[in-house]
Amino acid sequence: MNPPETPRRVITGIRDGKSVFVSDGPVPNTHHYTALPGHMTSVVYATAARPNLPQDQAEQAPPRMPVPPAPGETRLMIVTMPPDTVFAGADAEAAVAEQATHIPGLIDTFEPDAPGMHTTDTVDYDIVLDGEIWLELDDGAQTRLTRGDVVVQCGTRHAWRNKSDQNATLCFVLIGAAR
């Protein structure tokens, strides 16, 4: 199994009244996990609750920024999830510490007594880019998702389960909401 690739990010902007490419390269806020081989999180971009145009040229998603967005804010993430067997065989303390550093705030939404289960105050648009993944809800109901499937997650308690022997890659758009 090949390790996940760091996503390429192209950002456009406006200079002197014309559209320009502001940046083109690997996402700076990407982490390949040591404690969880094959796991990768990449916070690609973030917006304020009321973004202004043109966007300024500062990095919008710097490493170690809080992941859960406040109401109206957004986060765009690409996440590669290895098979569940990788998570089951991991040093849990090391994995949580690494995630706390690289996806601050998000790891805090996970329940220690129910592995993988978590709830965020967001509406999420989730798109399976590659592989297959199962979405589990708090009553144990599960549905299998494959490339191209889209989930609209409305602040529900859930977990992602990779029951296959291959990585699964998903794109998440998190929109902060008030509960």
CB 127 within 8 A of CB 169: no
CB 92 within 8 A of CB 119: no
Sheet containing 132-137, strands listed edge to edge, beginning at the edge strand earlier in sequence: 142-146, 132-137, 158-161
Q: What percent of the chain has pLDDT over 90?
A: 89
Q: How far is CA 127 from CA 130, 145, 169, in A?
A: 9, 9, 9
Per-domain boundaries in the chain: 29-53+61-176
Query: Considering the entire predicted model, what is its pTM?
Result: 0.94
For the segment 120-136, the average pLDDT, to the nearest whole number, is: 98
What gap in Å lies between CA 135 and CA 123, rounded to an integer?
15
What gap in Å lies between CA 150 and CA 7, rounded to an integer?
20
**Which pLDDT band, with edges at 50, 70 and 90, does 1 fall under?**
low
CB 78 within 8 A of CB 170: yes
Q: Which residue type is seen at 137?
A: L
What gap in Å lies between CA 96 and CA 17, rounded to an integer?
46
Written out in words, the top-level CATH class of the domain with range 29-53+61-176 is mainly beta
pLDDT at 54: 85
37-96 pLDDT, tens digit each:
999 999 999 999 999 888 877 899 999 999 999 999 999 999 999 999 999 988 989 999
